[in-house]
Chains A and B, each alone.
Chain A
């Protein structure tokens, strides 16, 4: 029963693990920026019922939120080439993450926008604020502030979900772990270290997002 741990067998591949972790963080960073951007656009179109885009985004949100991420990823990577659209594994991974996070964040941010009292908008117009100023200070920042914890959780979920991208040979952290495990058969040690890395990264991203939220969104000095 006593298991002989052999971390040296894993640590000799530590460069692969760290590189994989860096790629996972990179994927998450790009996916988050573009995905939340897409979400903000979608949320405004949906909240303000701008036709026909609100309907289009409605279909998009339902389509993505009701299908598994791995199927979306396989559709982009293995399916689209049949239509002549051939994306590399990195492009496919980023596109899938942006589309996925875009759909979820559309609904999260829309909730924030709709929670803003109408009187606040009337107050802005009474103060003769321009449309852009109103949007920026009276709509977007308070809306994001309200839903920031939910949005942060969704970003962490997308980061953890990026593990699935290893299935299309994207060489992120899970790919590195699977690769090392297929070479030294030290599954326990490999996945133990990988789990620890994911945990550290998730907590780190949560802290970073909390800081970003305090500084930029809520405007705390």
Chain B
């Protein structure tokens, strides 16, 4: 029995090594040769990626993948992934790129490489267009709804002035309901949540007042694929200059691409 296990493990490692070695060939050349760019995209995280009414994936990440495929002059092949399996799909060579609202952190940087950022993702304090909130001090005397225990709750609790009233709710829906019903003046959440609000209730579209935490999203590329990474970065840089990334941001995130991205 033990011997069988060892054989099984051996086979598994061999398969892994094989998978890794194919991934370590020159990926850019392989993509051009095959004429297909394989990209892992989210399917359950609007507006970055979701399934549209026509059952086809759509969203900012899908459009970004299409942009890259067009610039590489190859066909696009999408693989739907979730937040837990998106990096394994890349490292095992099942896809060439991960464009799946992927944020950067040291643990991930140890496993894969990241391109330049292609879209903003941040937590902040949002409020009505005409609310004059320029600095943290302006939060004095204001009531802000936030989802209890979330990252934005911790960040806001650390920086909010004494005079600000933070009302903590159990889940995102209550936090949003408190803002939309006028029970609070401001709401602390992510920019993605704001898009969802503006789609459902365009009357009280929240605009960004104070940024709490910045975590833009990047294209994930396998390690030691310098040629592919450079190419992706060049395409992203071009797309930033010619305004096509800004157009995607306007379309899906309802806001211009931040200048410093």
Contacts and interface: CB of A to CB of B under 8 A. Distances in A.
Nearest to B146: A169
Interface residues of B, number: 14
Contacts, number: 40
Nearest to B184: A169
Interface SS of B by simple majority: mixed
**Interface size range on A against B:** 10 to 19
Contacts of A86: 181-183
Interface in A146-182: 166-169, 175, 178-179, 181-182
In terms of DSSP, what is the predominant structure of the interface of chain A?
helix
Interface string B95-109: 000000000000000
A125 B178 CA distance: 56
Contacts of B169: 167-169
Given A178-B148, A182-B149, A169 B181 contact: no
A62 to B, nearest CB: 27
Interface in A24-66: none
Given A89-B167, A167-B169, A77 B148 contact: no
A182 B154 CA distance: 9
Given A89-B167, A167-B174, A179 B182 contact: no
Interface of B: 145, 148-149, 153, 167-170, 174, 177-178, 181-183
Given A78-B174, A79-B181, A182-B149, 10 more contacts: A81-B183, A82-B181, A89-B183, A166-B170, A167-B170, A168-B169, A169-B178, A178-B148, A178-B149, A182-B153
Lowest 10 CB-CB distances: which A-B pairs, in order?
A: A182-B149, A169-B167, A81-B181, A78-B177, A78-B181, A81-B182, A182-B148, A167-B170, A169-B169, A169-B168
